[in-house]
Chains A and B, each alone.
Chain A
Amino acid sequence: MSTAIADLHETPADLGVNYLNANYGIRSWLLTKDHKRIGLLYLATITLMFFVGGTAAVLMRLHLIEPQGALFEPETYNKLFSTHGIIMVFFFLVPSIPATLGNFLIPLMIGARDVAFPKLNLMSWYIFITGCGFALYATLSGGVDTGWTFYPPYSSSFSHTHVVAVALGVFIAGFSSILTGLNFIVTIHKMRAPGMTWFRLPLFIWALYATSLIFVLGTPVIAITLFLLGLERILHVGIFDPAVGGDPLLFQHLFWFYSHPAVYIMILPGMGVISELITAFSRKKIFGYTFVAFSSLAIAIISFVVWGHHMFVTGQSIYAGLVFSVLSFLVAIPSAIKVFNWTATLYKGSISYEAPMLYALGFIGLFTIGGLTGLFLASLATDVHLNGTYFIVAHFHYIMVGGAVMAYMGGIHFWWPKITGRLYPDYWARVAAALIFIGFNLTFFPQFVLGYLGMPRRYAVYPAEFQVLNVMSSAGASILGIGYVIPLIYLTWSMRYGRAAGPNPWRAKGLEWTIPSPPPTENFEEIPIVTEEAYNYPTSGVASV
């Protein structure tokens, strides 16, 4: 079995002059224009938001160990699941990989000194934390109980919670992601190094480009939708009120026009990471590069014409439902193409099982399950039975947690040496990855069964016969929680005590691995001239450098 980590002697932790130590002081961080520092600012913020959203989840699962609810009044439970959804979707998953790994890596991977608009990049972060501020303020002063979907008329006319404050937080954070997407699109179009043609780009870049298209085309719509909702709530006018000719379903159309593509914002970057991890830890070029690249674009495009599958049982026209159902089956195809290509890449590869690869392999399995269960939901007839149940909850958690979060963890571990110049202890990383995998499946697989048996979602109580499965799920959640805390410990530890990583500890291909770890502020002494295809690993079959 070959290992990907180069055998390092004890190197003194002299990491040279790099982007981390080039300037000191809080002003040099808060006024930075360096994409790498901005990526770290985002990393800190979204880690905080992850644990806030995660706390809500822990409280929910503790409450649900008893059929009549163990801890909270139903009104409080409603606030918990709403907070969990809003924070996790808008303030963790949507920005996670793009704003942290994307910001850090895109210029490095394409051979540029920074993104196209560094000051705009910093402003994006300030806008983001402003949005976070509103959301946290609203959460701490009582939260909202509308669900992350904010459906009127409850959210506009009947809820007595801080709907406007939270909606404002989401609105503001949306602008942050619009500007990030804009920055990435221009950067990728205009700032590639000489020789870095579109089809030599790492697939991570293709994935982030596709994600940025969704940022730019979709996010403005949820912004205007929340704006209209806020106006309805504040002015007591009936934009979505049937009494004056309004239509609550119009809100849902406008809301899901963004929020469905948003789920692809959340998974596409993860898929980009997986392409990088699978190739590096199989030491093999990707199978079907062109297919994987175009499948990212296809996902981004098709994602915009399927949103009605969230509305099959709302009273939407059956004819529209038919159209959305067919299109929803279509959107599975490019995702499947990726899974086939990753699998084919593994075949006859020189595989090693460091932590990033464990996350990548876990992703492939769990994302496949999540994606396949989506087909049951795309089918009108079965969705009638499964909608509003825990089946849906399990489906999207398999993709978002089993998929996106695992890809995020894999990516953080893979590029950690580049970002910090330090190695983390891989033993503990693999322990954490295993705990996360086991905890995740124990948490969410029972929920497929629960949903199929008819347990509704967003309910604070449930029939007693579902208790065993609920307790299993809550037990799994505690293991999952421990699994997430462990990396926090050893990654922090490694920042000070980790061994020096050197430029390319994984002996991986890619421009980011040709520069020192951590990189200097200007990234490249000289802008490289690219002559190689991506993932140009030697194909001799013998383990070589």
Chain B
Amino acid sequence: MKGLSEPIKRYDFDEKVEGRARYCADVYLEGMLYARTLRSDRPRAKILGITVPPLPEGYFIIDKDDIPGKNSVPIVYDDEPLLAREVVNYVGEPILLVVGPDKQTILNILAAVKVDYEEMDPILTIEDALNCRENFIFQDRPHFVEYQYTKGDISGAIARASCCVEDSFQTGYQEHVALETQSVLAFFEEGRITVSGSMQCPYYLKDALVQALNWSEDRVRVVQLPTGGGFGSKEDYPSIVGVHAALAAVKSGRPVQLVLERGEDIRCTTKRHPSQVHIKSYLDHENQIIARDVEVLIDAGAYAGLSSVVLQRLIFSVCGVYRVENLRVHGRAMATNNVVCGAFRGFGGPQAFFAIEMHMENIAQKIGVDSLELKKDYFLRRGDTSSTGGLFQFEIVLPQIIEQIEEISGYSQKRKEFSGGLGWRGIGCSVFFHGCGFTGKGEKDILKTRVRLVKRSASEIEIRVANTEIGQGAATTLRKIVARALEIPVEHVAYIYPDTDVCPDSGPTIASRTIMIIGKLLYDCALEMKEKWREESLEVARGYTYPDNLSWDNARFIGNAYAEYSWGANVVEVEVDPLTLEINVLGVWAVYDIGTPIDERIVKGQIDGGLVQGLGYAGMELLQARQGRLQQENLANYIIPTFLDFPPIVSRLVENPYENGPFGARGLGEITLVGAAPALALAVQNAVGKPIIQLPVSPEYLMELMCDE
């Protein structure tokens, strides 16, 4: 949209570039204490006893007995303790904290704390969990959740199929590596606790504090500070560290800073779920895909956390952008004594699209057709129904997306050139979507989303939302939406880092919902405000209403799994070093329909950043658990992309405004990551002529493939 999409200077730019932005660890308060966590070094054990040395004056221990309220993280199943109860279930589970003024003394105290464990048999893999018959981690079963949905007549279709293409895929962990580690600061004053720090979801933390302290809401305040990256890592984990710091502040009466170190952050915070996806596609005698049967397993780790919702998104996405009338999808989130997995940009999408895109390639190879041509035959169109039977009510511009990506990448031409003989060059194309906002009716049923717009004067409009600026540009894009709707200069609109004392609960900053959902509610507020503009000062508030044109049955998973989707295609071109089997990425092209871009430069930043994070996931970021311990626990061994690893990305947008988004905007943050891995893996498969069935596509994995003749 002319004018609106033109980039403006980010509102957080000056303080960040000048080094003036005060991140949590930059704040020093008079009399502040430091905290450090004693964590389980066993994957599964009973705690028989803990011996604590005599503490010097001014030092404190915080453990489960210091929690006056409920000792659990309030998310979905509330099964994860804030501090270990009788049993520890993963290496890195917090047991207690030592708090005091001098860090070296804290280390000395920690070294003298002795935990007496009684080892239990750990469940270390998905296979262990599947074989588990007793001594479950969670309730009376080996998984946290098990879901199934069907569409059409799967058994009838299988009965008339003439062949079946079957594949199994595996993906590994991914660590977010937000450059700023988990960091919080708590202080207790006049009977109120304030926790500030690095976070995506201030009200998740507030809810956790209210529940753990068993205090009334008015005694609890959460304030976001400049946040050095999120990517999902700061969705629910700040609830744990935030409560820890708060307990320490209450007990000591002093401000308490809790900043995780990098190794600790890698070891203990949530990860992207490892997955196993088994897909069977049934073809009739004319090679038409008539049915698809998918089995999904994810390693959720020791506590349920967000795994149920991640699994939902994975299973709703795993049939890809393709129209197949008969489906059965079954998925389980297995409980293991590994690190807890949770939210990570894409939220199940990357695993799903890796599996389905590789699988479509394999079907095409099997029936001897070009894979992109095969995909095009099955592209979803307006009027089709989704895997869960939800009607696609709006235009789906996949043909235009493909046309654009062909134009910029020369995909089909290159594909022909590379596909003969082992030239060590290859190209791959992935096509994908991302459902924007919460799954199903979550926006309505789980959240109590409320946004507020305040007019102090004609030139002082204040946005009051709990949605955070975590680098993605929300502080700028939300202002632009409001200013444009009010037709006033953007400088007249203010946004502050969320403070629960003044900002209503507009829900978490996740699920590509900030622009499409929150931006739209603010837009609606602005229109209302504009009508009443003559009033000197006023306040307008909005809550989310579930659109009439959608429906969702959460028991049977039938209907619109998402209100709307963003769409995209990625092309990656590679050469593989014939000696070291290292992958050299020669080109990356991307086209998306994210509706109207609210700020083209911010959009480009999301595209570049999401893709590089996705390419890291695809080819570099190996993270393995052995005996419940993560092996690559520092940044020398857990490697993320540097300046040199990937070439500049060429990207375009196909503008297809969404009528229920602000000025036509759809979600953006996550879709930029989900297509990268299949595009890279397809390119490598094209280059080496062997099926790629796992991520990351490491040189070691390729060596196994190439040498196992």
Chain B associates with chain A: no
